[in-house]
A and B are shown apart, each in its own frame.
Chain A
Amino acid sequence: MLGRTEFIQTISKALGRGAANPADTDIFTTSASPDQEAVLARIKTRSPAERKQLRGIIEQVAGPLHIDFHPEDNLQDIAGSIGRLIRDKDPEWGTEKSVVRWDHPLLSRLNLESLLELDGVPLHTTDSEAIDNATKVSATEQQVTVREKVEASFIGITSADYLVAATATLAMRSRPGHARSVSLVPAIHIVVVEEEKLLANLEELYTLLKWDPKEQALGLTNCLSLVSGPSKTGDIELIMVHGAHGPRELHLFIVAGKGE
């Protein structure tokens, strides 16, 4: 079996590498182009009114993508609406209800735990604090616990790093407390994002991820998920069915301003 060196040598040979045919020197971009700088500036200087416009675009594109866009825009109303979803929706498997959410400051501020609609339904958090206290729980044990909670839940609640208006695309990076499976395994995915996380299009998202110094420091992480709508399939006679493997429903709430 060939190793890496021989494998790459085969390719270099196929490419006819040599003094006459060196690799291009401009393959990787090392500084933002003027166009990209302009995109970054546009994002930074976006006014609240422009953000409201982006919210309007999402409202339009949500329908065709089968996303349930909810009009509530303050924490209290959003919490109430989530409470009603928990109360009114049926669990996908069995009869017991259970809900799981990310350990995320915005979601904590919703204070969902105090909702009357919960009515005894357990609300789990995929918290990151447990492992910080390494003496109590090991990382593996914590992962087992998170997995059990997620598998048992019919609703998963997350936020997102960004929300792209043109395609209603959520960008979520894996982080401590932000389990990837919360947006994936439960039948219903509820997302709450601040208006300031809205971007106009995918180009803005990619430009930000690539050139913004703060984003560069975090990087894409080991898993960046872009989610545009609930799970769907057309594999049987091209008939669109939602909820193939991921969530059947995606409920979207956008908090006005910074949600304070």
Chain B
Amino acid sequence: MSEITSAEYKKVAGHSIADPVLQSALESLQSRLGPATQNLYQNLPEGQELRKTAHGYRRKAIDNLDILLETLADNVHKNGGQVHFAATDEDAVDICLAIARTHNVKKVVKGKSMVTEEIGLNHALEEAGIDVAETDLGEFIIQLAGEKPTHIVAPAIHKTRQQIGRLFSEKLGTPYTEDPPTLTFDARKALRQKFFTADMGISGCNLACAETGHITTVSNEGNIRMSTTLPKVHVAFMGMERIVANLEEQQSLLRLMSMGAAGQQIGGYVSYIGGPAAEDHCDGPEAFHLIIVDNGRSKILADEEFREMLCCIRCGACLNVCPVYGKIGGHAYGSAYTGPVGAVVTPLLFGVNNAADLCTGETLCGACRQACPLEINLPRMLLALRAKLSEGDPKWEVQPKGKFEKLMFEAWQKIIQRRKVYNGFLKIGYVLQKILPGQDGMIRRLPFPFNGWTNKRNLKPLAAKTFMQRWKDRAGGKP
């Protein structure tokens, strides 16, 4: 399993906020993609209802996942492909390594796939002496730089053209340029040889179609078509939930996914791949392997509170509107899954305590739900995760966290339970606040544990008389 670094959330978030390059990249990303997606939703020929209908399609697929996966596997077999089932990340990696050994694979080209990041596939292939090339331009840049992606759809958004220019001239030996078309051409040239000489192409799967037995891949660059057409072996990885029953449902979902991901009506390249090339076809891979990965998903499936999360199609629309993501970028989340989707998926897949800050580090503003093509209720699930962290949960192996905070809230509850006690508390507060440093009638510095508020903000002090007191005075004064 690839390691997650979500415990560093606050620290990395701080660095990100202080990084002006990242801040302007995030601003640019959100100001373009967020509104573009909303605009497409507003103009759906089927109307806004389509999003609810599509949520229903996904929900039905998840509720019948056993049947759909059986059907998919049978149909892929019929089409001449092989299907493998991986219960864990290790299983998934081992299956892929065994396929690579069988075909004597030395070089791999990869299309972007979140699940392979989740299971740490690249590292395992490299350990086995196999050359792995990420071929999505953003992923390629990240791989050359030895970094992690910051965005599901635009992984290298945090790097400037100048940084990429220097990186390419250092690693590819190309003359320095900061012209994006030239840089793109340099990458095209470097990767072309990789495509032509690779023995294995690895892809993810955006959404499989059970009734036809096809996986689908979506890209705009054409790198996934290259990876799945030119090498003699194609291995596709699929999170077990990425499936839908039939073609008509898939049509709606792929369109919604394209809107969420890139503000497009439909992705530039959508491929339905159902098996190896037929004997009489003049190109395409000789072998097709589909690896279906569980790796903690069945646990999510079993919990009604979080099952909705499996409806997610990883379009990244929530990243393009989340105010917190817009400030801290992807690295702070410490896993392949970033932004609001990562804040729910990472704790569920990698352990709630390991990613506690991801559960609590949001404002619950609801922009993610509004942007989600399927209106998945991420804020609801964040609240559910927070409840688990407060109380602990044996089923999810959650240890209670933040005991001090809990004690504070329990004390607070005793105070608010009776107005008299509350009034007494407020009176003490009213007196004590006078010793705090002030500015223009506001409090300028609060003591621990509230000091975070006053680093850059003041606070309105408590009023001399609460409204309730004023109301009583007024009522008392009434004739």
Contact = CB atoms under 8 A, between A and B. Distances in A.
Given A225-B225, A238-B29, A151 B269 contact: no
Interface in B79-100: 79-80, 83, 85-87, 91, 94-95
B283 A143 contact: yes
A193 B285 CA distance: 27
B463 to A, nearest CB: 48
Interface of A: 1-4, 6-8, 10-17, 23-24, 27-29, 36, 126, 128, 131, 139, 142-143, 146-147, 150-151, 166-167, 169, 174-181, 184-185, 201-203, 206-207, 209-210, 219-239, 241, 243-247
Given A147-B283, A179-B281, A206-B250, 14 more contacts: A14-B301, A139-B280, A143-B282, A174-B277, A184-B226, A185-B230, A222-B281, A223-B277, A224-B272, A225-B225, A228-B267, A232-B221, A234-B220, A237-B157
Interface string B410-448: 000000000000000000000000000000000000000
B20 interface: no
Contacts of A178: 281-282
Contacts of B222: 184, 231, 244-247
B117 interface: no
A238 B28 contact: yes
27 contacts: A1-B95, A2-B91, A7-B294, A10-B87, A10-B294, A11-B240, A15-B301, A23-B66, A27-B246, A147-B283, A175-B281, A176-B282, A202-B266, A203-B251, A206-B250, A220-B214, A221-B274, A223-B272, A224-B271, A226-B270, A235-B154, A236-B164, A236-B180, A241-B181, A241-B184, A243-B185, A244-B188
Contact of B220 (A146, A167, A239, A244): A244
Nearest to A131: B280
A4 B245 CA distance: 19
Interface stretch (B135-143, B350-358, B378-386, B465-473): B135-143
B156 interface: yes
A13 B294 CA distance: 14
Contacts of B281: 174-176, 178-179, 222
B282 A128 contact: yes
A17 B302 CA distance: 11
**Which 10 pairs from chain A and chain B are nearest by CB?**
A246-B222, A244-B221, A235-B138, A7-B85, A14-B302, A235-B137, A14-B301, A231-B222, A224-B272, A226-B270
A233 B245 contact: no
Most chain B CB inside 10 Å of its own CB: which residue of A36, A166, A227, A231: A231
B328 interface: no
Nearest to A142: B282
B469 to A, nearest CB: 54
Interface of B: 25, 28-29, 32, 45, 60, 63-71, 73, 79-80, 83, 85-87, 91, 94-95, 135-138, 141, 154-157, 159-161, 164, 180-181, 183-185, 187-188, 191-192, 195-196, 210-212, 214, 220-223, 225-226, 228-230, 240, 245-248, 250-251, 255, 262, 265-284, 288, 292, 294, 298-299, 301-302
B246 A244 contact: no
A11 to B, nearest CB: 5
A24 B283 CA distance: 40
B221 A233 contact: yes
B212 A219 contact: yes
A179 B80 CA distance: 19
Contact of B65 (A15, A126, A181): A15
B398 to A, nearest CB: 19
Given A7-B294, A11-B240, A181-B230, A246 B277 contact: no
B251 A11 contact: no
B180 A27 contact: no
Contacts of A239: 161, 180
Contact of B221 (A10, A128, A201, A246): A246
Contact of A24 (B63, B138, B273): B63
B191 A245 contact: yes
The listed residue with most B CB atoms (<10 A of its CB), out of A16, A23, A147, is: A23
B292 A220 contact: no
Contact of A236 (B136, B184, B212, B274): B184
A206 B226 contact: no
Contacts of B212: 219-220
A126 B282 contact: yes
- Most chain-B Cβ atoms within 10 A of its Cβ — which of A146, A177, A219, A221? A221
A4 B85 contact: yes
Contacts of A131: 280
Contacts of A244: 137, 184, 187-188, 220-223
Given A7-B87, A14-B299, A231 B251 contact: no
Nearest to A229: B268
Nearest to A66: B268
A39 B29 CA distance: 38
B248 A225 contact: no
Contact of A237 (B25, B188, B279): B25
A221 B156 CA distance: 35
Contact of B269 (A16, A126, A146, A226): A226
A139 B282 CA distance: 8
A3 B85 contact: yes
A222 B275 contact: yes
Contact of A223 (B183, B240, B280, B284): B284
A70 to B, nearest CB: 20
Given A142-B282, A206-B248, A238-B32, A11 B301 contact: yes
Contacts of B247: 206, 209-210
A169 to B, nearest CB: 6
Contacts of B188: 243-245
B282 A227 contact: no
Contacts of B155: 235
A220 B284 contact: no
Query: Max chain B CB contacts within 10 Å: which of A1, A221, A235?
Result: A235
A225 B136 contact: no
Contacts of A210: 246-248
Nearest to A28: B211
Contacts of B181: 241
B245 A27 contact: yes
B331 to A, nearest CB: 17
A128 B240 CA distance: 37
Contacts of A2: 85, 87, 91
